[in-house]
Structure 1
């Protein structure tokens, strides 16, 4: 009698194991193993050289290295248009500012 109980319990477990499929990743990251990564001192030297070349006329007055100026480059892709923003569902839109919030921003924060 004990063998019938164990075989009845084993059958559903076998079905569950058969239903589990192997993992298939949905995201694939590029292989970056071959790309050399510069050390921190090398990266800082390159940044300093680029900064000096960018500011040739005013090399005497160097800005602090805490926030170097890097020219902005456009982000690839289609730019946002008014139509594309209007087509967004309400939950993804930015909520409108109230008059009090606009006044708070204009005066620069708390008094």
Structure 2
């Protein structure tokens, strides 16, 4: 029973030694919740928002990069062709 008391006191001392930390990652104001709910529109003096105006959706706010097909890949990033010797090695499952 003495061992358990010592272990718990050591763990408790280690826990007390942990100091609160400041996160190093800085997030943009609003984050993902702003994308989901739409960015707030700045108010213009005297302007009344029209109910017929479409609201921006979260899908419209996210822009995607164009997808490159295999034939559009630059030569320096393409795979080199597999030789017949490599094909045979793969098909037999390794060295014979």
TM-score, with normalisation over the residues of structure 1? 0.26
Larger RCO (CA within 8 A; separation ≥ 6): 2
TM-score (norm 2): 0.29
